[in-house]
Structure 1
């Protein structure tokens, strides 16, 4: 575990949500001010429920008092949050966009879009070592260790799939797609086609509760109380029901975060098959029409070598098989932590169409600080701000690009948020805990409302 590092001088202690008239369902916003020394943490609550409208609650009730006092501070808190970013007028945002284009040209002139293939040679050595350890331990019946090394191999391979999905290896569509299919489908049982469909949307509408599938994890997680309103996902084309299961999980989501992520890879199998078997999702026409069939071949191959040859034939007992499968899958949980770490604690507010792309990407994303020698373990996901600004920039050049991005942010007045790994995890758990607390307050208010309603009827 890395030691926690504070935010750099240019960044606030936490990035927060701000309200917007451009939202499709504008939330009511509550901020809790918690001053510690010189740091003020402004925490967004966006409640879009009947509680934000007229209520029959007695103003003497403590739960209602907490709600009302927080609501009263919203105007000041929103103003404070908006002051962190450039104005949304055309002139200010045009300046941000212009300097962003200049930065892109600078990175191109510095050769940072050129893939350093020697870095993949080093990556390949790591893959080979882990593969040999996996096979050797399997041969000598050290099944738990074998599963550990296979899980680590999958963890590292996922980063190259990410690179290929963004066409940042060869910059060729079919070549990089085939690299991704070979690693994801043939070696990992995942679908690079599903990932590209999902991830491209995430990059366009980052941290939008209605539109970004990467933060739509109901009933297990909600990073904003806007999810309490059973929002409709435009990606999945269905309502994200705020039902009994959601109420249970979200109340304890800050405790369940890591345990649930231990099983994240199993969900990726489900999503892969849902994508490949649905003709409405996988491409049937155009240049990529054949990718679906190659992926299906890869899926069959994966379940042959992993499910049949490795788990069933090579491991003699069911208890050992279960241990091997669980360890090999749970070891990949840090990947799911990394995927959520850069966004869960960041703003999920929609500032409307006037906000520039560059500002939105930085506002909704954080970087994770680590020493250069550990970059391979993060796979470039520790430079998510840089990556979201320049998705096709090769992973191994992201550290070189980071100082340029920081300079750009200072120049245009956009806070650049970077935490150490430990601090970043604390921010995520804190955000999940805040939303869980908001749900508890809301349920207490509803109980009080029900008592008042029943009491009023009996008093007549």
Structure 2
């Protein structure tokens, strides 16, 4: 041990996990990120959730190698005395280093250009069908094109949000606002706020916002205890209304997915109108206003209210395919209660994710999210590289006896419905008990 260095233990590090006293450890060196958390590009939540821990694996996952040299600014002079690295983490870090050396994070290819052209053609076809045709069938086909273009646009927005799409952070930010806010009406600021928290706390019932859907959906009976969401900072009350809806969630699952966009629009508006600190609030508001200008105008060009309502419903129902996919990737995965731990990063990502198996020629349809585990382990990896990395991740999971779930789209739907039905039957028992008790 070097006598010139100052040391603290992991136990002492754990005490510095508050917003006004926030330390983290990366490869055994301790950093004070109390002030940095407030301006962290990935949001304050990610750092708060893992404060007082060694976060090496998560840091490697989310940051390019160019960021490492900036860490010295936050180094507080301490090292971890009892710093240890598990065999899983050693192999994960080795694999990540090999991918960086091979240039896989920088090799984005021309997929973004192809997708933009594809989306542009679909949007053009939608607008042309609405403005140039009087046929009800053509109008509904236009609605379907709009819904399908939203799916592909969301994949592009997801790529830009993870800095996968463009060469620089600034271009990725502008692409996110243009693609997310302007075209879909869903704020990239809202997406980053929730999505980064989801990645860090994958399938934590009280820390992962992507599992917190009361009163409509619950993937675990743990929600029946009215747990507190650490993300939304409020109690997720499991009352009579929630009991009723959850009791039938395996039947209402697909209808709920068909109108899921309404909730996303609402969440966007609530965030942008809140007092919460939001990066680029003005641009996000402007982009959202652009969407709520062109979309209602397009719908108003239809000849009557029946077609207008049908147009919106069809576009939403087609886009529901993607909302279903999002839930298939995690609803049936392993869940846990409590904050994420930096020492089991690989294990929690492996346990909480489910891949969708498909032929290579169908990769465009799933937008890279069919390789959910690979994406969670390497969120900055361009989607065109995920299939190449998949065998390496599978081998690593096998070596360390960890799950690598890859199901067909049909199998994933069945598994998800079974998970929802299991919770529904438990909630139904509680519902009938409450009715019989209180009349």
Q: Which residue of 1 aligns with 2:90?
A: 98
CA shift in 2, pair 1:354/1:391, >3 Å: closer
The question of 1:135 aligning with 2:127 is answered yes
- Deviation of residue 263 (structure 1)? 0.2
Question: Which whole-Å CA distance do the structure 1 matches of 2:206 and 2:127 have between them?
Answer: 44
Q: 1:438 aligns with which of 416, 426, 429?
A: 426
**Could you tell me the TM-score, scaled by structure 2's length?**
0.77
- 1:118-157 equivalences under 5 Å are 118-138=110-130, 139-141=132-134, 142-157=138-153
CA shift in 2, pair 1:401/1:241, >3 Å: same
Cα distance per residue 1:147-196 (max 9 Å; x no partner): 11111111111000000111112353221111010011111111000000
The question of 1:296 aligning with 2:297 is answered no
- Deviation of residue 133 (structure 1)? 1.7
| 3-state SS, counterpart of residue 178 of structure 1 | helix
Cα distance per residue 1:259-288 (max 9 Å; x no partner): 0000011111111111111131423xxxxx
Q: Which residue of 2 aligns with 1:169?
A: 165
Contact residue 240 and residue 431 of structure 2 kept, 8 A: no
| 3-state SS, counterpart of residue 180 of structure 1 | helix
Contact residue 103 and residue 408 of structure 1 kept, 8 A: no
Contact residue 209 and residue 348 of structure 1 kept, 8 A: yes
Query: Which runs of 5 or more residues in structure 2 are unaligned?
Result: 1-81
Question: Which whole-Å CA distance do the structure 1 matches of 2:428 and 2:376 have between them?
Answer: 34
| 3-state SS, counterpart of residue 348 of structure 1 | coil
CA shift in 2, pair 1:446/1:296, >3 Å: closer
Q: Which residue of 1 aligns with 2:16?
A: none
Contact residue 328 and residue 412 of structure 2 kept, 8 A: yes
Query: Which runs of 5 or more residues in structure 1 are unaligned?
Result: 1-89, 284-290, 455-460
CA shift in 2, pair 1:380/1:354, >3 Å: closer
The question of 1:402 aligning with 2:390 is answered yes
| 3-state SS, counterpart of residue 407 of structure 2 | strand
CA shift in 2, pair 1:99/1:262, >3 Å: same
Question: Which whole-Å CA distance do the structure 1 matches of 2:221 and 2:145 have between them?
Answer: 39
Question: Which whole-Å CA distance do the structure 2 matches of 1:328 and 1:293 have between them?
Answer: 28
Contact residue 243 and residue 431 of structure 2 kept, 8 A: no
Contact residue 205 and residue 337 of structure 2 kept, 8 A: no
Q: 1:237 aligns with which of 233, 239, 245?
A: 233
Cα distance per residue 1:258-317 (max 9 Å; x no partner): 00000011111111111111131423xxxxxxx211111111111111112x112x2121
- 1:40-439 equivalences under 5 Å are 94-138=86-130, 139-141=132-134, 142-170=138-166, 172-283=168-279, 291-308=280-297, 310-312=298-300, 314-350=301-337, 353=341, 355-439=343-427
Cα distance per residue 1:76-130 (max 9 Å; x no partner): xxxxxxxxxxxxxx99971111111011012112222124331222212321321
Q: Which residue of 2 aligns with 1:77?
A: none
| 3-state SS, counterpart of residue 293 of structure 1 | helix
Contact residue 93 and residue 354 of structure 1 kept, 8 A: no
Question: Which whole-Å CA distance do the structure 2 matches of 1:368 and 1:253 have between them?
Answer: 22
Contact residue 112 and residue 165 of structure 2 kept, 8 A: no
| 3-state SS, counterpart of residue 274 of structure 2 | coil
Contact residue 112 and residue 401 of structure 1 kept, 8 A: no
Cα distance per residue 1:217-258 (max 9 Å; x no partner): 000001000000111111111111111110111000001100
Question: Which whole-Å CA distance do the structure 2 matches of 1:176 and 1:210 have between them?
Answer: 30
Question: Which whole-Å CA distance do the structure 2 matches of 1:339 and 1:178 have between them?
Answer: 24
- Deviation of residue 440 (structure 1)? 2.7
Q: Report how many aligned residue pairs link the two structures.
A: 353
- Following TM superposition, where does structure 1 have runs of at least 4 consecutive aligned residues deviating by more than 4 angstroms? 90-93, 443-448
Question: Which whole-Å CA distance do the structure 2 matches of 1:420 and 1:260 have between them?
Answer: 22
| 3-state SS, counterpart of residue 374 of structure 2 | helix
| RCO higher in structure (CA 8 A, sep ≥6) | 1
- Deviation of residue 407 (structure 1)? 1.3
- Deviation of residue 396 (structure 1)? 1.5
- Deviation of residue 445 (structure 1)? 5.8
Contact residue 186 and residue 268 of structure 2 kept, 8 A: yes
Contact residue 275 and residue 281 of structure 1 kept, 8 A: no
- Deviation of residue 355 (structure 1)? 4.8
Question: Which whole-Å CA distance do the structure 1 matches of 2:302 and 2:414 have between them?
Answer: 39
**Could you tell me the TM-score, scaled by structure 1's length?**
0.73
